[in-house]
Amino acid sequence: MTHLSLNQANLIIQEACKAARAANYKPMGVAVLDASGQLVAFGREDGASMFRFDIARGKAWGAVGMGASSRVLAERAKDNPNFFITLAATAEGKFLPQPGAVLIKDSHGHILGAVGASGGTGDEDEIICTAGVHAAGLRTD
């Protein structure tokens, strides 16, 4: 597999939101980007606030751009804050190194894109992203 399809992206969103409802999290926004950082699909649950798209996309964009989950990027940012501040400015606000996004990989470990969520805590956002990717038969590690 060399690309992420719209059907796969929609399934990831659907299953991520299903996981959020099962866990009784706050309303979520979930963004799926392809390997070049382009939006494939976005879903916003009823009641999700206006910032959900920007935050979910920013987490996913950083993950796919740096080839690491947003949790890893948040940890790296602690040790090198100036670089990450500069990177966020260079990316015109599209880069958000906070937990809540994971890479989407095929069975061979090739990066197909990333999914980011916003609405809960960073841990909750990451949990639902992982659930969505795995439900679509893809990998996050």
More confident residue, 101 or 141: 101
Is residue 62 over pLDDT 90?
yes
The region of weakest confidence among 7-16, 81-90, 104-113 is 81-90
> What's the pLDDT score for residue 1?
56
Q: Could you give the CA distance from residue 43 to residue 16 in angstroms, rounded to a whole number?
A: 10
Q: Is 90 exceeded by the pLDDT of residue 95?
A: no
Q: Please work out, in degrees rounded to the nearest 5, the angle formed at the alpha carbon of residue 140 by the alpha carbons of 111 and 70.
A: 85
pLDDT at position 96 is 87
Domains of the chain: 6-135 (3.30.450.150)
